[in-house]
Amino acid sequence: MIRIIFLTLLIFFSGCNLKSPAPYVTIKNVAVGKDINITKADRRLIRRFREYWQYRINGDYEHSYLYELPYQKYLIQLEKYKMEHGGKYKAKKIVLRNIRYDGGCAIIDRIVVIDDKNFTKKDKWCFIKDNWYHKFYQSIVPPKTIEEAQYQ
């Protein structure tokens, strides 16, 4: 609890720039499932989701890092982020399957295609100030549940 308060105060007093300008990326490998009913409110989140995952597929971790939650960027600097995430992502395609909202956050179900095999995964995105940010999961212990493993 103290850690959450400290992080909140750190973000508030740091005056961090919550905008994440990134150059336009051509979306080739991230799609939205045809059976999804997209509302006007979903469009911004979907655009951010598609850009983020295209950067990850391209191996452009400097730009995907801009989409991560601001407080997480205080905990994990870009070099450590690139070391932990860079070079590992082997997906050929990602398909957004569903969006569920939970307060100021959204849970996105996605299909990841690797070597012609489909894997079900989840993302958590939170709306902060005026934009959607990805929550990356990092753990040194194995996931406790199947659902927790889907965020890995």
Arithmetic mean of pLDDT over the chain:
80
| Residues 36, 38: Cα–Cα separation, whole Å | 6
Query: Is residue 82 predicted with pLDDT exceeding 90?
Result: no
| Residues 131, 44: Cα–Cα separation, whole Å | 8
One CATH from 3.40.50.620, 2.60.40.1530, 3.10.450.50, 3.40.50.300 for 32-151:
3.10.450.50
Q: What is the pLDDT at residue 37?
A: 85
Closest CA to 60 of 113, 24, 97: 24
Query: Is residue 81 predicted with pLDDT exceeding 50?
Result: yes
Of 146 and 61, the one with more pLDDT: 61
Q: What is the pLDDT at residue 47?
A: 96
Tens-place pLDDT, residues 109-151: 999 999 989 999 999 999 998 899 999 876 655 666 666 666 6
Quickly tell me which residue has 């300008």 as its tokens: 21
Q: What is the pLDDT at residue 99?
A: 95
Contact between residue 55 and residue 49 where contact means Cβ atoms under 8 Å apart: no
| Residues 60, 46: Cα–Cα separation, whole Å | 19
Instruction: Please list the helix, strand and coil fractions of the chain in percent, rounded to the nearest 5, in that order.
Output: 35, 25, 35
* 132 membership: H or E segment, kind and range: strand 131-135
Phi, psi of 100 (to 5 degrees): -125, 135
Q: How confident is the model at residue 105 (pLDDT cuts 50, 70, 90)?
A: very high
Q: What is the pLDDT at residue 52?
A: 94
CB atoms within 10 A of CB 53: 28
Closest CA to 97 of 88, 109, 87, 112: 109
